[in-house]
Chains A and B, each alone.
Chain A
Amino acid sequence: MARAWKFADSVNTDLITPGRYNMTLDMAELGRIAFIEHRPEYAKGVRSGDFLVAGRNFGCGSSRETAVYALKANGLMAIVAKSYARIFYRNCINNGVMALVAPAAFVDSVQDGDEMAIENGRLVNKTRRTSAPVSIPPLMQKLREFGGILNFLKSHKIEELESSAGSGESELPAGVGNGPATKNGQTPASASPGRKPSATKPSSRKRRL
């Protein structure tokens, strides 16, 4: 089963990959140092397909992309948070990582170790029988389909992101903030959020995020 790893508000990138540990280019090593001081049992216990569920302003602080790599390396299904800090969120988009924004009530209903899934376009907490709609901004969806911006740029010009991204959403998660960007915020996606069929099958855990 896929479990939830619950975190509080304001988890910064220094907590995810502390500056004293992240001077490496090795993805697997980064996976091992995720939350090394903040929550040492995380990197040992996390399984491919699990969910990281957090409060407000997840990923604040340093721009270090190692924070995204470290979480990606362990094969999370998705990060779910009430809100994100902008560089971390952007790094998720560029790396094809699913960083979902969920309503506060849903996040609050999740306790550490709960069984989680994405089913029929909804984020489901099977332990507490709560759920929330999944909304993936068009640019995140587009780059997820390519497995990240680098793959996209191998066959497209960067300018093509402008038209492919639809209107509005880009760096700003749907439903967060009060700026004009949310005017065109996506309504909950009806389709399954994962492009890959494996995204809803916990048995085949290969490429996640």
Chain B
Amino acid sequence: MASRTSPQTLAQKILSAHAGRPLSVGDLAVVRVDYVLAHDTTCAWAIEPFHQIAKKVFDPKKIHIFFDHAYPAPSVQAAQLQTKIRKFAQEQGIPIITDGVCHQVMSERFLYPNTLLAGADSHTPTGGGTGALCMGFGSTDAAVAMATGKIWTRVPGTIRINLEGKLPGGVYPKDVILSIAKDLSAEGANYKVVEFGGSAIAQFDVPSRMTLTNMCAEIGAKTGIVPADRRTEEYLRRQGRYRPFERTASDPNAEFEQTLTYDVSKIEPTVACPPDIDRDVPVSAVAGTPITQVFLGSCTNCRIEDLEVAYNILKGRKIAKNLKFIITPASRQVFEQALERGLLAEFSRMGAIITSPGCGACLGRHMGVLDDDDVCVSTSNRNFTGRMGSPKAKIYLASPATAAASAIEGKLADPRKYFRA
């Protein structure tokens, strides 16, 4: 049991508040959740388990069910699962949200700092960019959380990452998190919370922060979080749903299991080579590698800011011949912003394939599935063997700028030569 006076980490504070008692790192606790998230795959698997233990959900207003992984359905099988979920949601009085990737929409519409989200999806940490504690779980956990409004969890230790300095032109948060992944490895943060801070973080807006927290899943973390501050307030105001929040942070003497500091001004455009997240190299090391597809999408990197970054590189230039350039906005809001700013028209004229918002090609179900010989530059988060289609296809992960530069050349390319300050 933690004494009330011993210094605490941010994650520990949020979990303690949701357990109703002070918790120490390492404690096993049952905590109240503020939101439950499930989607067209994980929710399908949660329904039968749910019915084993409950008739009604604990609070339909706190449960968010998204169709995003394969929507509109690309197969009869997917359509059937969605019908099942719709029926369940109707019975329980839960609306189905079809406005884009669950993590993006949760941040746009629902999450507040210091709240707790239990999400049946591994990229749930994305929402940590808003200062909420967002943990990814499986379908059984989703069923338990929908039934009880609670979840069991260990109070994780924290790895603190301080980002200092200013990003050079053509270098983005994606390059930062890929550099971190290289240093920590794909399991370097297993079971831990990654907390970001430092002077660079203070400059990053919430969408940029979401790219960092999103990819904490790829280094094994329970979640990633950025303590809420004035940037968080700006974001909530921009989304038209600001309400005052406590600027909760780790105590000055809180014990971190590891503290890493990066000078982001020294970071280069970085690419994760197939098939692992921690095979990261400067783009210069692989520049010139021929590619067949560029995927600008996913909860990692297809917000309006990312589309602007890509446009900065692409404006007035042409996409390489025979290249599939697929743009899948992360949400309907992003889609509409891009529409209003004329970006979709510009991208379309360049020959891009613009799809409906959602997960799209990221997980290889539809809208950009790869064949054996395909080589894809993707702004998403996973380059696993077979992730986007054929197990023989190759996936390089990169920033939207690197993806855009590569689209121009039809080869992996350094965005700095096209970047306009």
B220: Cβ under 8 A from any A Cβ: yes
Q: Which residue of A lies closest to B220 (CB)?
A: A85
Task: Decide: A15 near B385, CB < 8 A? Known: A10-B186, A23-B70, A86-B190.
Answer: yes
**B141 at interface, CB cutoff 8 A:** yes
A57-B186, A60-B187, A66-B45 known; A139 vs B28 contact (CB < 8 Å): yes
The count of chain A contact residues (Cβ–Cβ below 8 Å) is 57
Contact between B190 and A170 (Cβ–Cβ < 8 Å)? no
A23→B41 contact, CB < 8 A: yes
**Chain A residues whose CB sits within 8 angstroms of the CB of B251 once the complex forms:** none
* Chain B min CB distance to A106 (Å): 19
- The reply to whether A179 and B25 contact each other, CB–CB distance below 8 Å, is yes
Tell me, rounded to whole Å, the shortest Cβ–Cβ distance linking A77 to chain B.
21
Q: Residue A170 contacts which of B28, B84, B276 (CB distance < 8 angstroms)?
A: B28
Known: A85-B220, A149-B144, A179-B257. A161 touches B77 (CB 8 A): no
Determine whether B153 belongs to the interface, using a CB cutoff of 8 Å to chain A: yes
Shortest B28–chain A CB gap in Å is 4
A24–B30 CA distance with the chains assembled, in angstroms: 31
Contact of A62 among B75, B122, B154, B187 (CB under 8 A): B122
Cα A38 to Cα B156 with chains together (Å): 33
Of residues 151 through 201 on chain A, the ones whose CB sits less than 8 Å from some CB of chain B are 153-154, 158-159, 161-162, 165, 167-172, 176-181, 183-184
Choose one: A12, A19, A161; the contact of B30 (CB below 8 Å).
A161
Cα separation A95 to B257 with both chains bound (whole Å): 30
Query: Restricting to B133-174, which residues have a CB under 8 Å from any CB of A?
Result: 136-141, 143-144, 147-148, 150, 152-154, 156-157
Give per-residue flags for B56-88: 1 if the beta carbon is below 8 A from chain A beta carbons, else 0. 000000000000011000010110010010000
Q: What residues on B are CB-neighbors of A177 within 8 Å?
A: 190-192
Query: Known contacts A25-B81, A91-B140, A158-B148: does B191 contact A64 (CB below 8 Å)?
Result: no
Question: How near does chain A come to B127, taking the closest CB pair, in angstroms?
Answer: 15
| Residue in contact with A14 in the complex, picked from B52, B143, B153, B386, CB distance below 8 Å | B386
Contacts of B386 in A (CB 8 A): 14-15, 18, 37-38
Assess whether A105 is interfacial by the CB under 8 Å rule: no
> Could you say which of B49, B75, B152, B157 contacts A179, with CB atoms under 8 Å apart?
B157
| 8 A-B pairs (CB sep. < 8 Å) | A64-B42, A65-B42, A69-B45, A87-B136, A90-B141, A169-B28, A171-B154, A176-B190
Residues on B lying within 8 angstroms of A by beta carbon are 24-26, 28-30, 41-42, 44-45, 48-49, 52-53, 69-70, 75, 77-78, 81, 84, 120-122, 124, 136-141, 143-144, 147-148, 150, 152-154, 156-157, 186-187, 190-192, 220, 222, 257, 276, 363-365, 369, 382, 384-387, 389, 391
Known: A170-B154, A172-B191, A177-B191. 16 other contacts (CB 8 A): A14-B386, A14-B387, A19-B365, A23-B75, A23-B81, A56-B187, A63-B136, A83-B190, A90-B137, A91-B141, A94-B138, A154-B52, A158-B152, A171-B191, A180-B157, A181-B154
Give me the 4 closest cross-chain CB pairs, A-B, nearest first. Answer: A180-B26, A65-B138, A91-B138, A63-B122
